């Protein structure tokens, strides 16, 4: 993550610094890691945008949070995209 909002910080219990400096794989539930990496690769390579992609994140206290993701197309030469998740 390049940037996160306060809602994500509150939902997962990590600091903004932790969320933006650790690899996102650190926060993904092990059983969802392969599908999440595939989804990310397709999104960042403009194959398609995320549309209600659901995966589980591990909070700092070890709880699981189900997040439904949507994303924008890649919009910069740096390969950035905007993604938003909804805690379900």
**pLDDT digit string (tens) for 30-48?**
999 999 999 999 998 889 9
* For range 15-29, the mean pLDDT: 95
User: Does the reported pTM lie above 0.95?
Assistant: no
53 or 1: which carries more pLDDT confidence?
Answer: 53
CB hemisphere CA count around 19 (13 angstroms): 20
Confidence tier at 8 by pLDDT (50, 70, 90): very high
Question: Residue 63: what pLDDT?
Answer: 97
d(CA 50, CA 35): 12
* For range 39-59, the mean pLDDT: 93
Confidence tier at 67 by pLDDT (50, 70, 90): very high
């Amino acid at each position: 993550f390049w940037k996160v909002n306060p809602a994500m910080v509150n939902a997962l219990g990590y600091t903004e610094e932790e969320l933006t400096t650790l690899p996102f794989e650190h926060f993904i539930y092990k059983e969802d890691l392969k599908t999440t990496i595939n989804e990310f690769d397709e999104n960042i390579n403009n194959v398609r945008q995320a549309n209600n992609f659901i995966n589980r994140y591990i909070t700092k206290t070890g709880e699981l949070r189900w997040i439904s993701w949507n994303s924008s197309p890649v919009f910069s030469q740096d390969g950035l995209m905007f993604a938003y998740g909804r805690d379900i």
